[in-house]
Amino acid sequence: MEKLIEKSCCAFAEALASKAPVPGGGGAAALAGALGTALGSMVANFTTGKKKYAAYEEEIQAVLRDMAQIQARLLALVDEDAEAFAPLSAAYAIPKGAPGRAETLETAALNACKAPREMAALCGQAIERLDVLLEKGSVLLLSDVGCGALLCGAALQSAALNVFVNTSTLQNREQAQAIETEVDALLEQYIPRAADIAQAVRRRVRKEG
């Protein structure tokens, strides 16, 4: 069976727009994060080996390695997120009052939180690397750093929504709150940071000082 991430860009967008249950917001979030990360890799690839940036070569190489791992994992999460939806959908289809329905739904909803939780954390890691590239990457690709930060920030926020829609159904409120607190911390730490990167890029490309 063809994986979602193996579809062409056009086919993926068509599937996203269709009545098919997957891909959905989670898959779109993972893909957006992977694209933002890829932009960071592009900046690093254009920077590495350049005499002007020789002092940063070791750091740029580290960014390249990290971004490759983050991108690969985000792409894998497109399908993992979709795979977690099927059991959740099946659980909701169980008639209310049926024996074991509540337990099955709880397990499925908790499992559906896993992929977007990881997406959010990975996007935060990518934003950290983009912050490095803001100062040490090639100035010729400065706008790509900003675009990458905005994409990763949007992906993080989108992933968070996909976590919250599932934690809202959990009967174990202590566990739900622990997950929400974890994701809230990522939002608090990295969304302002992504915005700061984009704002710094805007100021520089518009020569606003």
Domain with residues 4-205, CATH architecture = Up-down Bundle (1.20)
- For 162-184, the pLDDT digits (tens) are 999 999 999 999 999 999 999 99
Q: List the chain domain ranges.
A: 4-205
Q: Cα–Cα distance between 17 and 171 in angstroms, integer?
A: 32
Tell which residue, 139, 164, 125, 180, has the closest CA to residue 52.
139
Whether the pLDDT of residue 118 is over 70: the answer is yes
Q: Does pLDDT of 1 surpass 70?
A: no
**Residue 206, class by beta-carbon neighbours within 10 Å (0-12 exposed, 13-18 middle, 19+ buried)?**
exposed
DSSP assignment letter at 21:
S
Q: Render 149-182 in DSSP notation, one character per residue.
A: HHHHHHHHHHHHHHHHHHHTT-S-HHHHHHHHHH
Residue 49 pLDDT more than 90? yes
The 10s digit of each residue's pLDDT in 134-153 is: 999 999 999 999 999 999 99
Q: Find out whether 158 and 29 touch, Cβ atoms under 8 Å.
A: yes
Q: What predicted TM-score, i.e. pTM, was given to this entire model?
A: 0.96
pLDDT at residue 21, rounded to an integer: 87
Residues in the chain: 209
Q: Which residues contact 171 (CB under 8 A, 6 or more apart)?
A: 102, 106
* Cβ atoms within 10 Å, residue 203: 11
Q: Report the distance separating Cα 60 and Cα 58, nearest Å.
A: 5
- ∠ CA 66-72-75, nearest 5°, is 140
